[in-house]
A and B are shown apart, each in its own frame.
Chain A
Amino acid sequence: MNKDTYDINSLENEAIYIIREVAAQFEKPVLLFSGGKDSITLVRLAVKAFYPAKIPFPLMHIDTGHNFPETIEFRDRLVKELGLELIVRNVQDSIDEGKVKEETGRYASRNQLQTTTLLDAIEEFKFDACIGGARRDEEKARAKERIFSVRDDFGQWDEKNQRPELFDMLNGQINLGQNVRCFPISNWTELDVWSYIQQENIEIPSIYFAHKRKVFLRDGMIWSAEDEVVYRDASEEVIEEMVRFRTVGDMSCTAAVLSEAATISKVVEEIRDSTISERGARIDDKRSEAAMEKRKQQGYF
């Protein structure tokens, strides 16, 4: 790296600028942390934004109870190493309280249920800004998302009434009861995130790398057979394959891809040549073309 001038990756500079704006403009921000590579990248950027001071806001994980054990282990270690505050709220509690109903059947997942738990937690802590790792390249409805996206009391997103964002100026003024979702890595692509993880030598959970796993096939996708939350018909045969996961959402709706990529550089190489987009391995977006947009209107990311 050139020690004389500093003008690195424009995406990194942009993200750091956005994170600092959130800290400056809001009273109670929180960083939504899932344990996935995007939110790990966000934590890294936040550390850089405020160095040598600590990150001036807590992390919050909305735990579906269906996370890969590797992810939870990683989450706890990261928080401890960086001395951060972590809040965990469980979808299971929302189910036990009768606020949401568990889905049943072969495509059952807790992804939809997260919304209620998240909105309740925002209410509980009176968070006025939630920093998330959503990227505009992930999916068509997300391509329309603003960097500061205002949500009403019910967490709803009105796509026809979004604030224009001009130049670098972010308008974080809100009325009582509203909150803002902030997306510092909006303009990053999946490959950008991976390249950054490689460049910065950031540690990520092991399930992102190729490993031997018991899996079964359904609808042309590969599902983990090692985790009981993933519904499997008796007719669906278990096989062992070298696989890795491209996203680490709820296990019950996160499919694996066949892969030999066991290191970051191999993963970057693989993604560069890949022809299936990232969310293609997330079953619940395929439910209908408008799936993501409907979820956003209801307050999901």
Chain B
Amino acid sequence: MEVLKIATAGSVDDGKSTLIGRILYDTKSLTTDKLEAIEKTSKQKGYDYLDFSLATDGLVAEREQGITIDVAHIYFSTAKKSYIIADTPGHVEYTRNMVTGASTSQASIILIDARKGVIEQTNRHFFINNLLRVKDVVVAINKMDLVDYSEEVYNKIKADFSELMSKRDYQDQKITFIPVSALKGDNVVNKSDKMSWYKGEALLEHLEQLDKKDIYNVGTPRFPVQYVIRPKTEDFHDFRGYAGKVYGGELSVGDNILVLPSKTRSKIKDIYFYDEKYQTASRRSSVTITLENDINVSRGDMIVLENDLPTIDKQFTANICWMDSTPLEVGSKYVLQHGVNKVLAKVETINHKINPDYSGIDKNVKGLGVNDIASVTFKFNKPLFFDQFKNHRTNGSFILIDTQNNNTVGAGFIQ
């Protein structure tokens, strides 16, 4: 069964939780006890409809305020696919959660309230999805029931949104517009009979036909070594296996490789998955590799094909999303985690900040505040082996960790 991860984004009250609840309800994914709980609570609150948002808002604070304050993961499946929805809050101050949700997703749903149209938040959501190069974006224009299912309203929003699209950096992003009413169930799982002017698919129909293979960008193979396996048992006396996950393309037995940073040459001897040997390991598989000759490899090293090297350097420039209330400034030091590798990094320059309304850039910036997105140059104490984010999602991204409290304070995408 394939698993498709989807991130949702929308502002407060756009009806995101209702949309997800509706998907669960119409795909018969809500179990009896959950449905009963929803009916009971809806009645207690005096609603004359079922409040599906109760299916997803899990925290007490949220239920009290009626908003979503953290990334919740929701699971459902159809006969075709398993789905994981990362439901992220739409508040300005929770941009970091949106970046987080989009980073692990292959597709995104951006919600727009048909009565409000494109607002600043929509800009932000679109920009983040574009920055993170999410390949497939659905713009769900919700609450169509409140605008009499008007084609004009839909067309106006589509035109406004297309204006944003012209400014995008990542041009290959596929964008699909769908008019829906989550509350009434139009065009979510079932095609609406109230919008005959709309000839496209319902939301779930669209998701069902997304080809996951097409969504993963296939870079070149990168194998960061996570863990060195040395059993030292009688049967495996001299076994030295390098455990890790293959990113990008494929690695095969017999491939000539280099181990970074030392650039030692070797050949792949065996590829193990548990106790079976394979000829080839394709991307995202967690395997154990052995090499022809006995060389010194440790966690944080990277195995790559000898004719296909990443950049090896002690500095890079990246777009970062700052996630902490303590500002990032020139000269600030952080632990930079790139895959399974950690280095000490210093902020060399803040090149420019993206204006919050995405109208352009500001080159005169002293420091970054929470939710700022900016281009920053870092220097490290040891070389890293990296790719540009546009060519390699995994090997082109990193996180920043505060040296005092160890919190994750930023995410970056190498330019």
Contact = CB atoms under 8 A, between A and B. Distances in A.
A95 interface: no
A167 B397 contact: yes
Interface in A2-35: 3-8, 10-14, 16-17, 20-21, 23-24
B63 interface: yes
B280 interface: yes
Nearest to B393: A167
Contact of A164 (B59, B82, B274, B411): B411
A143 B73 CA distance: 5
B227 A20 contact: yes
A24 B100 contact: no
B72 A143 contact: yes
Contacts of B258: none
A216 to B, nearest CB: 21
Contacts of B201: none
A104 B96 CA distance: 45
Interface string B384-415: 00000000011001110100011110010000
Interface stretch (A66-74, A111-119, A168-176, A201-209): A168-176
Interface residues of A, number: 62
Interface string B231-244: 11101100101011
Interface residues of B, number: 81
B171 interface: no
B272 interface: yes
A289 B61 CA distance: 12
Contacts of A141: 58-59
Nearest to B68: A144
A164 B281 contact: no
Contact of A10 (B32, B59, B281, B284): B284
Most chain-A CB neighbours within 10 Å: which of B226, B272, B397? Answer: B226
Interface string B327-359: 000000001010110000000000000000000
B70 interface: yes
Contacts of A12: 286
Interface stretch (B33-41, B183-191, B259-267, B307-315): B33-41
Interface of B: 2-3, 31-34, 37, 41, 55-61, 63, 69-75, 77, 82, 84, 96-97, 99-100, 103-104, 226-227, 229-233, 235-236, 239, 241, 243-245, 250, 271-276, 278-288, 299, 323, 335, 337, 339-340, 393-394, 397-399, 401, 405-408, 411
Interface of A: 1, 3-8, 10-14, 16-17, 20-21, 23-24, 47-54, 136-137, 139-144, 159-160, 162-169, 171, 173-175, 186-187, 189, 191-192, 274-277, 280, 289-290, 293-294
Given A165-B100, A276-B32, 9 more contacts: A6-B285, A7-B285, A48-B274, A52-B231, A140-B57, A165-B408, A169-B337, A173-B335, A294-B60
28 contacts: A5-B280, A7-B282, A17-B286, A49-B286, A51-B229, A51-B274, A53-B236, A137-B73, A140-B57, A143-B58, A143-B73, A143-B74, A160-B61, A162-B70, A164-B97, A164-B399, A166-B104, A168-B245, A169-B339, A173-B335, A173-B401, A187-B84, A189-B75, A189-B77, A277-B34, A280-B31, A280-B33, A290-B63
